[in-house]
Amino acid sequence: MKTDLYTKVILTIIAIALTVNLFKATITPAFADGKKYVTLPVNPDGSINVNINKVNETMDVNIKNVDPYAFYYSQPIPVKVTNK
C-alpha cells in the first residue's frame, strides 16, 4: 500500500514539473546565443550587394585551417567579382 502511494506521489510531482516546464517554454523562448542579427536587402535573384571600400591592394581571401566538417551542411555561396 505504501509503495502505491509513493509511486502516485512521485508520478504526480513529475507530471506537474513537466507541465510547468511546458508553459515556461512557451512564455520565454530559448535562444542558442546572444548574437544580434541585421536584416539585409536581398536582390530578386537572391544575391546581396557587398561593397568593399578603402582597399588599395590585392586582398588575400584564402581560407586556411578550417575544420573539414565546418561547412558540411551548408550550401556554397556563388561569388561574382565585378570591377567598376
* 9-38 per-position pLDDT tens digit: 999 999 999 998 888 767 766 666 666 666
**Closest C-alpha among 4, 3, 80, 1 to residue 45:** 80
Tell me the whole-structure pTM to 2 decimals.
Answer: 0.33
Asked if 40 and 48 touch (Cβ cutoff 8 Å), the reply is yes
> Residues 30-76: pLDDT tens digits?
666 666 666 778 888 877 777 777 667 776 666 677 777 777 777 77
Gap between the Cα atoms of 16 and 10, Å rounded: 10
